[in-house]
Structure 1
């Protein structure tokens, strides 16, 4: 599929606009309207349930007839259903749009099909411009939508010989300042950060996100899983958000509750038992392993039993990137059997149909 340079720039801009929308049950979507010559006519983004979708928001900034013959560039396939708002596909047709460029297919059973509706009305539909970038941006939303739980990133820091702590249990600091700063960037991008009670009691972490030494604008909600109570003087009680404590190891129910609270990006930080439990249960979508050039020896492994009894049962990973951070190395990986955004021809059914007001 051929795309113009103006369309590529417009899609990059649409992704920037999408990020302005609120996190939650609805996808963050951005749109740009281009004239036939490639000039930007209008921009828009989705501001939450019940508000105009990105395409309609962009069209609302134009006088009647100004979009006739124009191109709509949008990060997600225009929807084809009526909820609290009407179908975007119909709004684009009514405005006289003659070409639609989008990045990723809508995975919804009810909301999908916009591309087919547009093509049936002789609109030139061009899919998958900057698909990988848009899929990565919407990865958390589509995981929540399809699986009924938040997107889960499991992180650990380890020595070169695979240890998460020294023999006496101390683990601060295995990695250097550059790696720790990177962890804080990932914290700031998460909706919730999870630790077990062992980590909460032994390390007494603050679980805040700090950028250049200052509290980040967005702070993840601290979550503790385990049966032991937090001391009244624990640093977690000074967090900007009140900690959520679950006295259970039923990770499925924990994740379902977090999703119901509108928390769709979960960052699991520790310790080894909790990280291993997520891995064994098949609830990890992304892995961040920070490896430091130190040797610790001993039996305090960074990952323990994950239910692999033989090499044939090994959990195979796809390494998305390898990054040097000071003296340390970050491996960013996902499981080979799992795609961030499935091909439309092989997409499993969504966990639930969109609720009223959702896309």
Structure 2
């Protein structure tokens, strides 16, 4: 991707070719981005922002958006810096907010602290901010530079940007398969295709998404908990989302029985028996109805719109095959997290993605390779929607 260009649908970021940044600038913005990553899965509907304050070659304050979206990263960094923020440079991966919400604007706090320079990766597409934050800083006499590490910053907050620009969250499709793309044998045996290291990495993936979604088939066969079982991250459980058009999931299954402990939303049709809907609600499940698509399945486009309206910015889709096919058919998958085990099951095994009616190769969803991780004997490949 050329310098200064960002993925389609994301906000403007300035042109980094028009500014000459030092190696220190790059290093400190990279630190701000790493700090921002700590908020992923914990700050919706807000973006995740990291801020580093540096003065005379020394870091005087660091901060990142706190759980629930407040306080913001800039506020946290200023709190740690205290009086040392005067004359400092603020490195922020997103334009500081310029509006009053539950807290005062970050621009006001930065101006009051007396910073001399602000280096910002990209503008905020939120209409309440969208360039106003940068202008307020400039009007206060602060030197403002935009565009450093813009591509990385836009990628990190892509879910927030998509919620504003397209009224849907970022969608990551997670697959765990054999080399030939199978998730179970012909008899349905599936535990475990991948090893412990890969399963732990999948739990980490859950932790940085706001919600995790499965279909009724997966819920019925696997009876998943969809929580995070990693040391130090057990409080980072995502919202659980279940697609169950005909309410096939037993009330005794973990997603239903545990809904009072881990929030669970169930999307279904609007023509189901009222007594069944009442039983689900009494179990603590929030039941939401959506329309059907052309294949007479729950309309995943409508599901995403409801999730976005309720503040979800990052959704992890864990299956099964029909659900994966539905999102791919609707061209709604932004990223692929593909765990692969070094095994082969064969054509009579259950495919990770069911058929979704493609006639021409040109219509196939396309993805660009981003990288891979070795996880013991298994491999995780990461792909992004082709630009």
TM-score, structure 2 as length reference: 0.74
CA contact (8 A) 1:187 1:208 kept: yes
- Could you tell me how far apart the structure 2 residues matched to 1:106 and 1:89 are? 13
2:241 corresponds in structure 1 to 223
Q: Secondary structure at the match of 1:125?
A: strand
Distance in 2 of aligned mates of 1:238 and 1:81: 39
Aligned pair partner of 1:77 in 72, 95, 99: 95
Give the unaligned 5+ runs of structure 2.
Answer: 1-19, 270-297
Pairs within 5 Å for 1:345-356: none
CA, structure 1 residues 272+115, in 2 after alignment: closer, same or farther (shift >3 Å)?
same
- In structure 2, the residue corresponding to 1:178 is in which secondary structure? helix
Question: Which moved further from structure 2: 44-53 or 238-247?
Answer: 44-53
- Give the aligned partner of residue 197 of structure 1: 216
Match of 1:23 in 2: 43
Contact 2:159 2:314 in 1 (8 A): yes
The verdict on how the C-alpha distance between 1:145 and 1:167 changes in structure 2, with shifts beyond 3 A counting, is same
User: 1:52 and 1:218, CA in 2 relative to 1: closer, same or farther beyond 3 A?
Assistant: closer
**Counterpart for residue 7 of structure 2:** none
Structure 1: tracts of 5 or more residues without a match: 338-359
Query: How far off is 1:57 after superposition?
Result: 5.5
8 A Cα contact 1:68 1:98, kept in partner: yes
How far has the Cα of 1:107 moved from its partner? Answer: 2.3
**Matching residue within 120, 138, 141 for 2:160:** 141
Structure 1 residue 67, shift from structure 2 partner:
4.7
Distance in 1 separating the partners of 2:383 and 2:69 = 36
Q: Secondary structure at the match of 1:148?
A: coil
Distance 1:63 1:309 in 2: 62
- Give, in whole Å, the separation in 2 of the partners of 1:158 and 1:50: 35
Displacement of 1:95 after TM fit? 4.8
Shift of 1:50: 9.9
Give deviations 1:72-97, integer Å, cap 9, x for gaps. Answer: 22221234556666654465456543
SS at match of 2:184: coil
| Alignment-derived partner of residue 100 in structure 1 | 118
Listed one character per residue, the Cα deviations across residues 101-149 of structure 1 (whole Å, up to 9, x for unaligned) are 1222222344122435545766433333343443333222222222212
- TM-score, normalising length: structure 1: 0.79
1:301 corresponds to 2:351: yes
Which one of 253, 257, 266 corresponds to residue 306 of structure 2?
A: 257
**1:38 partnered with 2:87:** no
Per the alignment, residue 326 of structure 1 pairs with 376
Match of 1:355 in 2: none
Determine whether 1:207 maps to 2:256. no
SS at match of 1:104: coil
Which of 276, 300, 316 lines up with 1:267 in the alignment?
316
Root mean square deviation, CA, Å? 3.2
8 Å Cα contact 1:93/1:118 also seen in 2? yes
CA deviations 1:149-208 (Å, max 9, x no partner) are 222111112222222221122222222222222111112222222111111112222222
